[in-house]
Structure 1
Amino acid sequence: MEKHPEQDVVTGSGSSLGDGYPPIDEKKERAVLRKIDIHLMIPLWIVFVFGFLDRINLGNVAVLGIMKDLKMTGDGFSIAMQIFFVPYILTDIPSNIILKKFVPSTWISILTFFWGVTCMCQGVVKNTGGLIACRFFMGVFEGGFVPGCAYLMSMYYKRHDFQKRFSLLWVAGLIAGAFGGLLAYALDHMRGLGGYEGWRWIFIIEGLLSIVAAVPAKLIIADWPEQAKFLNEEEKRILKERNSRDHGGGGKMDRLDGTAWRRIMLDWKLYVGSLIYFGITVSGYSTALFVPTIVNSLGYNGVESQVQSIPVWIAAAVITLIVSYLTDRMQHRYGFVAFGVIFSSIGYIILLCEGLSTGVRYMAVFFVTIGCYIVQPVAIVWMANNVSGHYKRAISLAIQIGFGNIGGIVASNIFNKDWGPKYTIGYSVALALMLFCGIMSTVFAMGLMTENKKRREGKRDDRLLLPEDVLNNLGDDDPRFRFSL
């Protein structure tokens, strides 16, 4: 929780006394949050479902004939998988800067429309080169979506309201994982219609869903709080007061100049937070892209692999929501990250053991996926909680998510189909990076505790003597800001 150096600031509704703020009517506050949820969470959730479907459907069609029809080798398929992540990583920062200067609803709907078009194009490719080109442009248009969502949401919700909402958004990806397997199973039965194979219809129909979603996305998605047409002036005032309580009156960065850039890029949290996310995204993409393939390696056929993947995603979604509630309620992140790392690591160790029954190995897939999706959304919110200011949050989240998505390139290589069905390399690398994630999370937590101690002792108070225009653009270097574990 953030605090002034001279007093405790109690965040939340205004029932507290002596916190320096007038009370906020709790009934009105809840009404404002409901409006925000309707205009922000619901449309972003729907778009995320369709976007994640488009992103992972190559993993679904891998066991439905695409490699044979396009005469692809394992290396060709890996290239098609990993080429997506090159533009996906590079576009994160420019996309968030555009989002800051642009109307969010317009930018997000444009991205949604064009990644839908690109997905449909995958359904008519004739060779591996065409598929690789489509996957590249898919990365271009999907690159800014997740960091954009995290940035936009962080401007509406307090730090310990945020995890529940962001994890709910993240669950859209898990639902897409479950729904994607079921939808792929259904659409595969369209094979022969129009002379197209079943896997082609998967790309075409799922891309069409994103295109259709783009128009209502523009009309419904909330823009920045000060531009929110669905809030009246009193509601905007309440929202502003809530946010002011959460950052204690400091921690602003609304001007992006050379000094601000240096302040952002020299912050150790940016690099450690990015390494945390990199460590977990290897497992995140391994499960998102290869759960059907992994399940197939346990002895199930192509269609059974899609169906048997569904319970894995549903279980992960339920646990993710439970954890999001607990971590916000306890106002703590690190312990949940550590738990997820341990839980997932147990799953990888089981998968690396030989001679175990199919049922036990199938259980291990649950462990890996659940542990991964406990950590992944918490890692992003933990970073958002500990960087303050419009521009610092925009750029830091973009860098964290962009750098972390290098894990997608790693995942695309370590689960090469030619190395199945044991996937010893894949499981070993994913386990090592999962443990690396745990180590970096510990470093992050220790660094935050150390800095909070220095601020409580007044060792950063000299910054309060800086000129006002400098003090008001320090971001979380403002000594009144307190970091959150």
Structure 2
Amino acid sequence: MADEKPTMPDADQSSEDKVTAPNHLEEKGVSTAAPGYPALEKDSGNKDIPDPDAHLSAEEKAAVDKKLIRKLDFTLIPILCVLYLLAFLDRTNIGNAKIDGLQASLHHMSTGKYNATLSIFFVSYSVFEPLTNILLKRLRPSVFIPIIMIIWGICMTFMGFVTNWSGLMAARWFLGLAEAGLFPGINYYLSCWYRREEFGIRAAIFFSAAAVSGSFGGLLAAAINKMNGLGGRPGWAWIFILEGILTVLFGFAAIWLVHDFPDDAKFLSEQDRERVIRRLKMDKQSSAEHEEFKMKYVWMAMKDYKMWLGMVIYMGCDMPLYAFSLFLPSIIKQLGYSNTKAQLLTVPPYAAAAILTITIGYIADRTKQRGLCNICVSFLGIAGFAMLLGSEKAGVKYAGTFLGALGIYPCIANTISWTANNIEGVYKRGVVLGFVIGWGNLNGIVSSNIYFNSPKYTVGHAVVMAYMIVCLLGGSIVLRTLLARENKLREAGKRDHWIEGRSDREIEALGDMRPDFIYTL
């Protein structure tokens, strides 16, 4: 936040393209009136991008743009939702397996050992997440995503054949390693296709697959449990085997169904590729372009306060997410229901969470008030866990699970969208999202070790509440306040001196440190 000239990323510079910044950006032809919508003729960053629709009227351009977005949505979003549904199903179905007899089958595995199997997933998952977006960019989505899907599907399948705690630990470790690239990778990938005010609803629809997987997982586990004893395997083993095989099949299908970045996407015509890249440029984004990786992008991310606050906020909703999804079947079973009924009663809270996640994504895109959305929604989750913590009545506790889900799931997608909106630069954004999501998931270790002493689960509910109050609610308030302050400084021309003496290319390379880049609040 210090008022100093930002460090300039390396760029070639010639004497003829130097510019000098007057006191206000408007005087040099850069518009800051509407965040993310500079006038094309005033933005020097767009002058070299061909416009295939230059001959069309404004109405015709709008129709072409609408058709393009519809094509992107129907081509990209459905398959990504299915992939994440499978990923979240595979990482959390151990909660369903637990109430179907997993612990008893593996030599009466203790609660401590069971919690360790939950924790080991998050260790490998979190350690490798910051690296995965770099691999995604280098290997291409159509190669990277199918590879990791097939690997984690195989790990999932073999979890159905483990005979002891050590085998389960090893399978969960490699499951976390393989899944590490999907969630940060897909969010980064989507941010390379859509403008900032379009990204949130798509990320919300994508993440709603996690809530749907909770509903689907409960229904599926209740049905698969009927296979108990088939082939000499218990019902919980068939949950792992069948869901693992399903993931492997979709992994192979993803080779043809997952597309690369806009400049390489085969399903687009050359004109449509130009349209996608041009509209991202108009939104002050360079994410569609090729960029060589350098360590400077890592250091740029590390020096950005938005990354650190994003990590705090994300841990405030991600730790509760895993606590909720891993232990919801056990929480409901402790209310006095049978195994099958407990599995089925997990469905409605997840369904409600999926609906609100998409709703909040839509509202946040339209209002550009992602911070306020986080703040308001977090109160639902806090109230829900307060009900779980303070009441002894089964009906009140079950209602608390609804509010808990409603307060957690929308904040996940919204926080990721908020972070991606405010970080510019291909690799910098990838690194920041990797760190934010990786740190949040590392807190899954906490989720795995706070639920004991049933049926009250006092420690678990209290820790979740603390995370949501301090990190999610408090962090969102702090970040929104700092971003609003910075926007006011930029709009008042107090950051114009950052581009004095810089070439057009150097100004563009500043990314979100450009004085005309207005943050999403």
Q: Distance in 2 between matches of 1:237 and 1:410?
A: 46
What does 1:187-206 align with in structure 2 at a 5 Å threshold? 187-206=224-243
Q: Distance in 2 between matches of 1:235 and 1:369?
A: 39
Give 1:7's match in structure 2, choosing from 28, 31, 37: 31
Q: Distance in 1 between matches of 2:500 and 2:227?
A: 69
Q: Does 1:241 align with 2:278?
A: yes
Q: What corresponds to 1:454 in structure 2?
A: 489
Cα pair distance change 1:278/1:248, threshold 3 Å: closer
Q: What corresponds to 2:327 in structure 1?
A: 290
Give 1:386's match in structure 2, choosing from 403, 413, 422: 422
- TM-score, scaled to structure 2: 0.88
Is residue 332–residue 342 contact of structure 2 (8 Å, CA) maintained in 1?
yes
What does 1:62-101 align with in structure 2 at a 5 Å threshold? 62-70=98-106, 71-101=108-138
Q: Distance in 2 between matches of 1:55 and 1:482?
A: 37
Is residue 35–residue 518 contact of structure 2 (8 Å, CA) maintained in 1?
no
Q: Distance in 2 between matches of 1:298 and 1:412?
A: 20
Q: What corresponds to 1:271 in structure 2?
A: 308
Give 1:442's match in structure 2, choosing from 462, 467, 477: 477
- Equivalences, count: 479
Give 1:182's match in structure 2, choosing from 201, 206, 219: 219
Q: Does 1:36 align with 2:72?
A: yes
What does 1:124-135 align with in structure 2 at a 5 Å threshold? 124-135=161-172
Is residue 391–residue 397 contact of structure 2 (8 Å, CA) maintained in 1?
no
Gaps of 5+ in 2: 1-23, 47-53
Deviation at 1:339, TM superposition (A): 1.2
Instruction: State the SS of the aligned residue for 1:72.
Output: coil
Is residue 340–residue 371 contact of structure 1 (8 Å, CA) maintained in 2?
yes
Give 1:156's match in structure 2, choosing from 186, 189, 193: 193
Deviation at 1:481, TM superposition (A): 1.0
Residues 216-260 of structure 1 show CA distances to partners (whole Å, capped at 9, x for unaligned) of: 211011201000111112111211221122117899994543443
Counterpart residue identity of residue 191, structure 2: S
Deviation at 1:331, TM superposition (A): 1.9
Q: What corresponds to 1:375 in structure 2?
A: 411
Q: Does 1:49 align with 2:85?
A: yes
Deviation at 1:12, TM superposition (A): 8.4
Instruction: State the SS of the aligned residue for 1:391.
Output: helix
Q: Distance in 1 between matches of 2:325 and 2:461?
A: 14
Q: Distance in 2 between matches of 1:94 and 1:218?
A: 22
Q: Distance in 1 between matches of 2:136 and 2:287?
A: 23
Residues 92-117 of structure 1 show CA distances to partners (whole Å, capped at 9, x for unaligned) of: 12111111111111100001101000
Cα pair distance change 1:219/1:477, threshold 3 Å: same
Is residue 261–residue 288 contact of structure 2 (8 Å, CA) maintained in 1?
no
Q: Does 1:59 align with 2:88?
A: no
Residues 252-306 of structure 1 show CA distances to partners (whole Å, capped at 9, x for unaligned) of: 9945434433222110010001000011111111111111111112222221110
What does 1:163-178 align with in structure 2 at a 5 Å threshold? 163-178=200-215
Q: Distance in 2 between matches of 1:306 and 1:118?
A: 24
Cα pair distance change 1:346/1:484, threshold 3 Å: same
Instruction: State the SS of the aligned residue for 2:283.
Output: helix
Deviation at 1:10, TM superposition (A): 4.7
Deviation at 1:165, TM superposition (A): 0.7
Is residue 13–residue 242 contact of structure 1 (8 Å, CA) maintained in 2?
no
Give 2:441's match in structure 1, choosing from 391, 401, 405: 405
Residues 428-460 of structure 1 show CA distances to partners (whole Å, capped at 9, x for unaligned) of: 000000001110111110111111122122222
Q: Distance in 1 between matches of 2:118 and 2:25?
A: 48
Q: Does 1:433 align with 2:467?
A: yes
Q: Distance in 2 between matches of 1:274 and 1:251?
A: 25
Q: What corresponds to 1:319 in structure 2?
A: 356
Counterpart residue identity of residue 377, structure 1: A
Residues 305-332 of structure 1 show CA distances to partners (whole Å, capped at 9, x for unaligned) of: 1010111111111111111111111122
Give 2:385's match in structure 1, choosing from 336, 339, 348: 348
Q: Distance in 2 between matches of 1:242 and 1:324?
A: 21
Cα pair distance change 1:294/1:326, threshold 3 Å: same
Is residue 40–residue 221 contact of structure 1 (8 Å, CA) maintained in 2?
yes
Q: What corresponds to 1:422 in structure 2?
A: 456
Tell me how large the CA RMSD over aligned residues is: 2.2
Counterpart residue identity of residue 414, structure 2: V
Is residue 128–residue 180 contact of structure 2 (8 Å, CA) maintained in 1?
yes
Instruction: State the SS of the aligned residue for 2:193.
Output: coil
Is residue 269–residue 444 contact of structure 1 (8 Å, CA) maintained in 2?
yes
Is residue 285–residue 424 contact of structure 2 (8 Å, CA) maintained in 1?
no
Instruction: State the SS of the aligned residue for 1:226.
Output: coil
Instruction: State the SS of the aligned residue for 2:474.
Output: helix
Q: What corresponds to 1:220 in structure 2?
A: 257
Q: Does 1:484 align with 2:520?
A: yes
Is residue 341–residue 371 contact of structure 1 (8 Å, CA) maintained in 2?
yes
Residues 197-216 of structure 1 show CA distances to partners (whole Å, capped at 9, x for unaligned) of: 00000000000010000122
Identical residues among aligned pairs (%): 34
Deviation at 1:470, TM superposition (A): 4.0
Larger mean Cα displacement after TM superposition, 466-475 or 101-110: 466-475
Cα pair distance change 1:407/1:261, threshold 3 Å: closer
Is residue 260–residue 474 contact of structure 1 (8 Å, CA) maintained in 2?
no
Is residue 32–residue 518 contact of structure 2 (8 Å, CA) maintained in 1?
no
Is residue 64–residue 302 contact of structure 1 (8 Å, CA) maintained in 2?
yes
Q: Does 1:302 align with 2:339?
A: yes
- TM-score, scaled to structure 1: 0.94
Q: Does 1:140 align with 2:164?
A: no
Q: Does 1:471 align with 2:520?
A: no
Is residue 111–residue 141 contact of structure 1 (8 Å, CA) maintained in 2?
yes
Q: Distance in 1 between matches of 2:82 and 2:139?
A: 22
Is residue 416–residue 433 contact of structure 2 (8 Å, CA) maintained in 1?
yes
